[in-house]
Amino acid sequence: MNKRLAPTITIDGPSGSGKGTIAQKVAKALGWHLLDSGALYRLVALAARNHGVPLENEESLQILAQNMDVQFLVEDPEQPPRVVLEGDTVTRDIRAEDVGRDASAVAALPSVRAGLLQRQHDFRQEPGLVADGRDMGTVVFPDAQLKLFLTASVEERAQRRFKQLQDKGMSANLADLQAALQLRDEQDMTRPVAPLVPAEDAIVIDSTDMTIDEVYTELMNHARNQGLVS
Ligand code: DC
């Protein structure tokens, strides 16, 4: 007998497109589970560093991807979940630029992606899942009920990141941020496995000139049209 799979909304797109913020807002509004798949790649990168595993050692990286002990604890629905790796809170550590760079490298390895697949499927539970990443609609949840692909110009995404860092009291250089984003996009879009591309049946939204609330409203309208929200 076929088990009914929980309804799923996927939100894919490049770094800084706002997908994480939107995914969190939608999951909270619907009372659904949230999968931040980028965090999983960041966790593999951090676990590799903690265990002294070189980023070329694909076999050990796959073992880490499959076996690392990770928890996402939703303590305050207004905030992203607390991320715990092998007993340590690493919510902030995984957001560091160098961890992001390493994450992009491990994400290009097919065995790491395969190693994380089951973990990602496990998030699909009732009453539903909002999953954000790069290949949620194409590879991980190809049968999702609603697929969104969120883009924005690289200039706008760099600006957003710059402002985020400033708000956190961290210093940053706009030109460097833009160059790093461009490089990350290039890596993510041209890799042979699960490259960053919209699913054929994805709704593409360019958020360059939109606020988070405008994107949210548009997504919720689509969700209503699909019968996912009353
Ligand atoms: O969204 P993020 O910046 O946290 O993602 C970190 C890296 O992981 C990024 O370089 C792309 C990669 N990634 C991926 O390959 N597939 C996903 N589903 C999510 C992220």
Q: What separation in Å is there between the alpha carbon of 166 and the centre of ligand 1?
A: 23
Mutate which of 95, 134, 136, 191 to test ligand 1's pocket (most atoms within 8 Å of Cβ)? 134
Ligand 1 neighbours, Cβ below 6 Å, are 15, 37-38, 41-42, 100, 103-104, 107, 133-136, 184, 188
Q: How confident is the model at residue 3 (pLDDT cuts 50, 70, 90)?
A: low
Sketch the domain layout of the chain as residue ranges: 8-224
88-89 and 82-85 strand pairing: antiparallel
- Which residue's CA is the closest to the ligand 1 atom numbered 6? 38
What does the alpha-carbon distance between residue 217 and residue 36 come to, in Å, rounded to a whole number? Answer: 21
Cis link prior to 142 (omega < 30° from 0)?
no
Mean pLDDT of 44-56: 97
Q: Write down the mean pLDDT value for the chain.
A: 93
% residues pLDDT > 90 (the chain): 78
User: Taking CA 161 as the corner, what is the angle to CA 76 and CA 193, rounded to the nearest 5 degrees?
Assistant: 90
What does the alpha-carbon distance between residue 198 and residue 134 come to, in Å, rounded to a whole number? Answer: 9
Amino acid 101 reads R
Give every CB contact of residue 132 below 8 A, 6+ residues apart in sequence: 10, 11, 12, 19, 20, 22, 23, 34, 35, 36, 37, 38
List the strands of the sheet with 70-73, edge to edge: 70-73, 82-85, 88-89
DSSP tag of 17: S
CATH 3.40.50.300, domain 8-224, yes or no: yes
Q: What separation in Å is there between the alpha carbon of 230 and the centre of ligand 1?
A: 32
What does the alpha-carbon distance between residue 230 and residue 228 come to, in Å, rounded to a whole number? Answer: 7
Q: Of 14-28, 110-124, 185-199, where does mean pLDDT reach its minimum?
A: 185-199
What is the DSSP code string of 73-131?
A: E-S-TTSPPEEEETTEE-TTGGGSHHHHHHHHHHHT-HHHHHHHHHHHHTT--TT-EEE
Residue whose C-alpha is closest to residue 196's, from 144, 146, 132? 132
Q: For 166-190, how does the pLDDT look when each residue is reduced to its tens digit (9 = 90+)?
A: 888 878 899 999 998 898 888 888 8
Mutate which of 11, 34, 36, 41 to test ligand 1's pocket (most atoms within 8 Å of Cβ)? 41
Q: What separation in Å is there between the alpha carbon of 13 and the centre of ligand 1?
A: 9
Give every CB contact of residue 161 below 8 A, 6+ residues apart in sequence: 15, 16, 172, 177, 181
pLDDT over threshold 90, residue 217: yes
Q: For 52-101, how does the pLDDT look when each residue is reduced to its tens digit (9 = 90+)?
A: 999 999 999 999 999 999 999 989 877 889 999 999 999 999 998 899 98
User: Taking CA 132 as the corner, what is the angle to CA 131 and CA 137, rounded to the nearest 5 degrees?
Assistant: 75
pLDDT over threshold 50, residue 1: no
Mean pLDDT of 152-164: 92
Answer yes or no: are the C-beta atoms of 18 and 212 closer than 8 Å: yes
